């Protein structure tokens, strides 16, 4: 009979990725997890490497001014961004004093583990969580250790940062798209890439009937870059289809004769206006993508996760329940809902829309909008750059709560267990 181990904690954290790791770091700054002036006991659970419940290593990107609190984790950074339309016309913009930056999940998670090992009050355990539920004195987490034993964690609060599960049936008036991608870290024999610029979207790839497709290029040098093929659509593509598109892009668009694949990344990110509540029980709360951190219009989440983490840390310090707030402004979510429906219904061509926005709105303003830091005046500038007739018709459809296009049976399942945004 397998052994049963029981632990007690103030906070049990499920998942130590972008959201869970960021929370741990903020809790142990100063060398000890604390709730105000009181020491805090935290047990964090993460599946073992290679387990199906654990996301593979991947890259997270965000942008903002210098002096970022995770600056030591940044592997690559760029002061210029580029968007290329289907005809090859490029918008190349400087972000100074801001920057676009990439953090590798493996580096980030290693730094979190090192900080927690040097701090008091945090215990990191390797286990696969099987159930999370309320209990009379708080909440209970049931997990399975690599050796097959049962681990029970009884805590006052549980923060669950595992990826969201999409509804099988999309509510009327709501939209669910999937951002699915596959990327190669390639090394080319000759100079191919501009190491000073991150290409956020290159639309010189075949476009789907509804949604959008583009290449995403993050150079490390003139010879090496992470090159991804990304699609916004109702259902995810198989890996082979993405890899065929990647090969065609490298050969036919960038003119590369040969390359070496150093590594690969893949993911499926939900882009939806379906509400994802942060409360999952009386003492159980969600954090990160499962609590709505993913920006519906882009799939980015890392910056929003930091806003949630700050609020949760402040709540714990005050002795209050750690309920993560919605990290996006309601007007931005309303604009995102219109964009998602316009893409999903085919009211606008995604490639044309995004290229038009970057051509008509200064890149720093558009990135502030996508990050949720834009002013009302800047939001109005973004709205003015969009195709008005198509967007007004889409608003009408949303107000009438017209049903969304039906998803295939494979759609929601493909999005389960995905990493939290780019």
Q: CA nearest 198: which of 75, 296, 319, 304?
A: 75
Mean pLDDT computed over 282-287: 97
pLDDT tens-digit map of 228-264: 999 999 999 999 999 999 999 999 999 999 999 999 9
Mean pLDDT computed over 80-96: 94
Mean pLDDT computed over 1-18: 90
How much is the mean pLDDT over the chain? Answer: 90
Amino acid 51: pLDDT = 64
Mean pLDDT computed over 313-326: 93
pLDDT tens-digit map of 372-420: 889 999 999 999 999 988 888 888 878 776 555 544 433 333 333 334 4
Q: Report the share of the chain in percent with pLDDT over 70.
A: 93
Q: What are phi and psi of 7, to 5 degrees?
A: -125, 155
Q: What region does 176 belong to: left with phi over 0, alpha with psi -120 to 50, or beta?
A: beta
Separation of alpha carbons 401 and 58, rounded Å: 37
The tokens for 75 are 């592997």
The tokens for 310 are 């700050």
Whether omega before 193 lies within 30 degrees of 0, making that bond cis, reads no
Q: Where are the domains of the chain?
A: 4-57+104-167+273-317, 176-271, 330-414
Judged against a pLDDT cut of 90, whether residue 205 lies above it is answered with yes
Judged against a pLDDT cut of 60, whether residue 370 lies above it is answered with yes
pLDDT band for 173, please (50, 70, 90 cuts).
Answer: confident
Amino acid 402: pLDDT = 57
Residues in CB range of 409: below 8 A, 6 or more apart: none
Judged against a pLDDT cut of 80, whether residue 421 lies above it is answered with no
Amino acid 52: pLDDT = 62
pLDDT tens-digit map of 149-168: 999 999 999 999 998 887 77
Q: Are both 4-57+104-167+273-317 and 176-271 of the same fold?
A: no
Q: Are 141 and 45 in contact (CB under 8 A)?
A: yes
Kindly report each contact of residues 376-383 with a partner whose C-beta sits within 8 Å and lies 24 or more positions away, as own/partner.
376/331, 379/331, 379/332, 379/335, 382/335, 382/357, 383/335
- In the chain, the largest separation of any two C-alpha atoms, in whole Å, equals 67
CATH superfamily of 176-271: D-Amino Acid Oxidase, subunit A, domain 2 (3.30.9.10)
182 or 169: which carries more pLDDT confidence? 182
Separation of alpha carbons 215 and 183, rounded Å: 9
C-alpha torsion sign, points 364, 370, 374, 377: positive
Query: Can you tell me which residue has the tokens 């070496």?
Result: 260
According to CATH, what is the number of the domain 4-57+104-167+273-317? 3.50.50.60
141 or 390: which carries more pLDDT confidence? 141
| 3-state DSSP of the chain | CCCEEEEEEEEEEECCCHHHHHHHHHHHCCCECEECCEECCEEEEECCCCCCCCCCCCEEEEEECCCCCCHHHEEEEECEEEEECCCCCEEEEECCCCEEEEEEHHHHHHHHHHHHHCCECEEEEECEEEEEEEECCEEEEEEECCCCCEEEEEEEEEEECCCCCCCCCCCCCCCEEEEEEEEEEEECCCCCCCCCEEEEEECCCCCCCCCEEEEEEEECCCCEEEEEEEEEECCCCCHHHHHHHHHHHHHHHCCCCCCEEEEEEEEEEEEECCCCCCECCCCEEECHHHHCCCCCCCCCCHHHHHHHHHHHHHHHHCCCCCCCCCCCCHHHHHHHHHHHHHHHHCCCCHHHHHHHHHHHCCHHHHHHHHHCCCCHHHHHHHHHHCCHHHHHHHHHHHHCCCCCCCCCCHHHHHCCCCCCCC
Judged against a pLDDT cut of 50, whether residue 6 lies above it is answered with yes
pLDDT band for 21, please (50, 70, 90 cuts).
Answer: very high
Give bridge partners of residue 300 from the DSSP assignment.
none
305 or 418: which carries more pLDDT confidence? 305
Q: Are 55 and 96 in contact (CB under 8 A)?
A: no
Q: Report the share of the chain in percent with pLDDT over 90.
A: 75
pLDDT band for 115, please (50, 70, 90 cuts).
Answer: very high
Amino acid 183: pLDDT = 97
């Amino acid at each position: 009979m397998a052994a049963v181990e029981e632990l007690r904690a103030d906070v049990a954290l499920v998942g130590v990725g972008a959201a869970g790791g960021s929370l741990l770091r903020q809790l142990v700054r100063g060398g000890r997890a604390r709730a105000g002036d009181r020491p805090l006991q935290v047990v964090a659970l993460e599946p073992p490497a290679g387990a199906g419940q654990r996301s593979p290593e991947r890259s997270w990107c965000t942008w903002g001014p210098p002096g970022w609190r995770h600056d030591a984790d940044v592997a690559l950074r760029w002061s210029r961004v580029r968007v290329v339309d289907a005809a090859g016309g490029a918008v190349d913009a400087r972000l100074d004093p801001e920057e676009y930056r990439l953090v590798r999940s493996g580096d980030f998670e290693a730094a979190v583990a090192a900080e927690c090992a040097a701090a008091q009050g945090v215990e990191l355990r390797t286990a696969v969580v099987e159930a999370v539920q309320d209990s009379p004195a708080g909440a209970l987490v049931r997990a399975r250790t690599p050796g097959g034993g049962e681990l029970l964690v009884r805590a006052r609060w549980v923060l669950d940062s595992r990826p969201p599960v999409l509804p099988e049936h999309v509510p009327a008036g709501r939209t669910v798209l999937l951002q699915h991608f596959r990327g190669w870290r390639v090394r080319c024999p000759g100079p191919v890439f501009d190491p000073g610029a991150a290409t956020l979207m290159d639309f010189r790839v075949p476009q789907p009937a509804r949604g959008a497709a583009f290449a995403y290029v993050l150079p490390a040098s003139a010879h090496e870059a992470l090159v991804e093929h990304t699609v916004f659509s109702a259902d995810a593509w198989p890996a082979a289809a993405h890899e065929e598109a990647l090969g065609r892009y490298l050969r036919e668009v960038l003119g590369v004769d040969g390359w070496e694949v150093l590594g690969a990344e893949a993911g499926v990110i939900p882009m939806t206006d379906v509400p994802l509540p942060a409360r999952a029980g009386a003492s159980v709360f969600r954090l990160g993508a499962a609590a709505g951190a993913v920006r519906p219009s882009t799939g980015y989440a890392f910056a929003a996760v930091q806003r949630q983490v700050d609020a949760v840390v402040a709540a714990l310090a005050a002795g209050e329940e750690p309920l993560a707030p919605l990290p996006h402004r309601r007007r931005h979510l309303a604009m995102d809902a219109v964009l998602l429906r316009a893409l999903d219904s085919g009211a606008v061509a995604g490639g044309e829309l995004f290229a038009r926005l970057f051509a008509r709105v200064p890149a720093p303003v558009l990135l502030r909008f996508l990050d949720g830091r834009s002013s009302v005046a800047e939001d109005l500038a973004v709205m003015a750059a969009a195709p008005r007739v198509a967007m007004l018709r889409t608003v009408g459809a949303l107000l009438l709560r017209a049903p969304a296009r039906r998803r295939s049976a494979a759609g929601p399942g493909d999005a389960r267990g995905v990493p939290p945004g780019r």
